[in-house]
């Protein structure tokens, strides 16, 4: 996707709809893999065939649900067959797959991927990934000879390395509270702070299988008890926008809803009406599970403090990354704070909220939300060809979600980067990826 979140060809040159369930995709010419072999239709078919196999990782189940098969037409043409007719944008989202060599290549044992992008991977370990420019990149070899991605888990260490000049770019990986260090005249002479709105969605997810959180009145009460403006101001220093749903305002299918307002008195009334009376300054207890990231823990504790004001006791339980993922996958939590970058076709709402898309099935329905009416709408929206009717379906979906609140939207975080002034040409992509590295220059 480009900066306007529109589908544009990358390794494809063009696509053509032949029948309702058949597309012909023409590949770009003059594309070479990093090992010097040509990019061909055979390689595209090999990748998609592997991802359509039952043994493929669960996260590719959505691809198998939509795409039936593909065939090689000639060296530069691939024919794709769908199970059912799809809107074009949803078909194009199925093609958003990296094409690289992963079977029988000289580098397979070392774990180095052989791709076709502007930089080729030459090594990696637990502390660093090293890439060198691809001389035969179709759109021109980059100016930067080598990229070193340093893996630095501790935020304090990242900041220190940036200040001492051993790191040139830190992208969306530093605590907001540390920005003051880069606003001094000395720091501003060495670094540039870049900021743009982004599609980063931060939200509180409810485990709707929990006997208390399955009550919609309780979820609505928590939504009214949280002072989201206060959270955004304190934690992001207003480098974020309040969220009203999964899609940010710039998304073509965004719907603005007015359900989330800070109203603690209304929250108390909802809890009382649901039968949760205040006993010894408490109504009930919940666990808020989070990763052991310091910023996530700060957010979790502020949420706990705000909910305590309406009599909900929240115990914050930080976990290591692995244990946190396992807790999410197994439903072993009451509340959790998550973050996603949401872009592309609105069918992504199916992965978040359809009852068939729980984590063990490869989906992102961490709320374990089940609503047959919503399921039917999500299925209808997936296959609707008329854009206006499809938009109306997803408007209805978002209005239902705003009422049911399996997620509590918090904010859309901005892209933030600190860049050394010896580097130019760096720019953001709304998806937060690394498109800009091809145009970097070192002054």
Within-domain flag for 186: yes
Within-domain flag for 3: no
Residues 86 and 124 in one domain: no
Number of domains the chain is built from: 3
Within-domain flag for 99: no
Within-domain flag for 346: yes
Within-domain flag for 427: yes
Residues 269 and 385 in one domain: yes
Residues 64 and 167 in one domain: no
Within-domain flag for 1: no
The pTM assigned to this predicted structure is 0.88
Nearest to residue 197, comparing CAs of 409, 436, 431? 431
Residues 286 and 149 in one domain: no
Residues 240 and 343 in one domain: yes
CATH assignment at residue 377: 3.10.105.10
Contact by Cβ (8 Å): 263, 224: yes
Give the distance from CA 193 to its chain's centroid: 23
Residues 251 and 144 in one domain: no
Q: What are phi and psi of 82, to 5 degrees?
A: -100, 155
CB-neighbour burial class of residue 340 (10 A; exposed 0-12, middle 13-18, buried 19+): middle
Residues 433 and 399 in one domain: no
How many CA atoms lie less than 13 Å away from 221 in the CB half-sphere?
A: 25
What string of pLDDT tens digits covers the 443 residues of the chain?
A: 766 667 778 899 999 999 999 999 999 999 999 989 999 999 999 999 999 998 888 778 888 889 999 999 999 999 999 999 999 888 888 888 887 765 444 444 456 778 899 999 988 888 999 999 999 898 888 999 999 999 998 888 998 898 888 999 998 888 888 888 888 898 899 999 999 888 889 999 999 999 999 999 999 999 999 999 999 999 999 999 999 999 998 888 999 887 789 999 999 999 999 999 988 788 999 999 999 988 999 999 999 999 999 999 999 999 998 999 999 999 999 999 999 988 789 999 999 999 999 998 888 999 999 999 999 999 999 999 999 999 999 999 999 999 999 999 999 999 899 999 999 998 887 666 677 788 899 98
Provide the residue range defining the domain that includes 154.
Answer: 119-195+420-442
Residues 311 and 392 in one domain: yes
Residues 284 and 398 in one domain: yes
Query: Token pair of 245, please?
Result: 């749903």
Task: Measure Cα distances from 116 to 13, 98, 148, 169, 210 in Å.
Answer: 15, 9, 18, 24, 47
Residues 260 and 359 in one domain: yes
CB-neighbour burial class of residue 9 (10 A; exposed 0-12, middle 13-18, buried 19+): middle
Residues 166 and 207 in one domain: no
Contact by Cβ (8 Å): 413, 339: yes
């Amino acid at each position: 996707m480009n900066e306007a979140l529109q589908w544009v060809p990358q390794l494809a040159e063009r696509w053509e709809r032949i029948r309702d369930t058949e597309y012909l995709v023409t590949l770009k010419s003059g594309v070479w893999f990093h090992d010097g072999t040509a990019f061909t239709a055979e390689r595209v078919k090999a990748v998609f065939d592997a991802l359509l196999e039952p043994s493929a990782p669960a996260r590719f189940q959505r691809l198998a649900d939509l795409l039936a098969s593909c065939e090689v037409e000639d060296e530069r043409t691939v024919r794709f067959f769908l199970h059912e007719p799809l809107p074009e944008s949803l078909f194009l989202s199925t093609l958003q797959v990296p094409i690289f060599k992963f079977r029988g290549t000289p580098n397979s044992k070392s774990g180095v991927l052989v791709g076709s992008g502007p930089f080729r991977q030459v090594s990696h370990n637990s502390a660093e990934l090293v890439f060198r420019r691809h001389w035969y990149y179709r759109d021109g070899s980059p100016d930067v000879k080598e990229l070193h991605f340093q893996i630095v888990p501790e935020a304090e260490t990242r900041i220190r390395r940036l200040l001492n000049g051993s790191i040139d770019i830190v992208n969306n990986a530093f605590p907001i509270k540390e920005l003051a260090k880069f606003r001094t005249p000395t720091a501003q002479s060495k670094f540039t702070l870049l900021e743009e709105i982004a599609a980063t969605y931060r939200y509180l997810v409810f485990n709707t299988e929990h006997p208390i959180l399955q009550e919609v009145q309780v979820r609505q009460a928590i939504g009214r008890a949280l002072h989201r403006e206060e959270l955004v101001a304190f934690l992001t220093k207003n480098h974020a926008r309040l969220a009203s749903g999964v899609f940010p305002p710039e998304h073509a299918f965004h719907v603005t809803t007015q359900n989330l307002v800070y109203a603690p008195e209304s929250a108390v009334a909802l809890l009382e009406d649901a039968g949760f009376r205040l006993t010894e300054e408490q109504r009930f207890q919940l666990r808020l599970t989070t990763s052991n990231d310091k910023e996530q823990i700060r957010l979790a504790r502020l949420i706990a403090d705000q909910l305590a004001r309406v009599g909900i006791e929240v115990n914050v339980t930080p976990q290591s990354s692995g244990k946190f993922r396992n807790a999410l996958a197994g439903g072993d939590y009451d509340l959790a704070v998550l973050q996603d970058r949401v872009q592309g076709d609105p069918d992504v709402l199916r992965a978040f909220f359809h009852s068939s898309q729980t984590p063990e099935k490869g989906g992102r329905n961490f709320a374990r939300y089940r609503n047959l009416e919503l399921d039917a709408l999500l299925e209808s929206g997936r296959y609707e060809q008329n854009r206006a009717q499809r938009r109306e379906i997803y408007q209805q979906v978002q209005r239902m979600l705003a009422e049911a609140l399996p997620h509590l939207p918090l904010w859309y975080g901005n892209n933030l980067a600190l860049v050394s002034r010896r580097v130019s040409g760096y720019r953001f992509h709304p998806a937060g990826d690394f498109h800009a590295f091809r145009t970097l220059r070192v002054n």
